[in-house]
Amino acid sequence: MFLKLFSLFLIIPLVEIYLLVKIGGIIGAFNTVLVILITASLGAYLTKIQGFRVFRQIQDATRQGYMPGNELLHGLFVLIGGFALLTPGFLTDAIGFSMLIPQIREIYVGIAKGIIRKKIEQGNFQMRMYTDFR
């Protein structure tokens, strides 16, 4: 767990800074900032479109009477992709855009389902329900 957090909070920002400096040296500082602003704006727009699409799929699934597990995972990755696109940097933009393309997002969902399935089979996944129903 420590290594995952370490890579998330240290290695990724270092790679982002490196890429920003390198690409900024090639295309210029103004163009780099412009690309970052354009990708953030485009990312927010695409996140909105994909978010509403996934929300409709969740509504359709519940209307048909089944648990929208697959659709909820798609929603999670749309949310993560949106956050990644709002984060300045080229690596996070590439990851964010890939999570907003439904065909590629299906790969992420498949990996997540495999991880969840593996944790359940190993007994490492616990689910608790806290309710106040009587």
Quick: pLDDT tens for 12-66.
Answer: 889 999 999 999 999 999 999 999 999 999 999 999 999 999 999 999 999 999 8
Nearest to 42 by CA among 31, 30, 50: 50
Model-level pTM?
Answer: 0.83
Provide mean pLDDT across the span 61-86: 93
Domain residue extents for the chain? 1-122
Q: Map residue 123 onto helix, strand or coil.
A: coil
Q: Residue 117 is encoded by which pair of tokens?
A: 């399935």
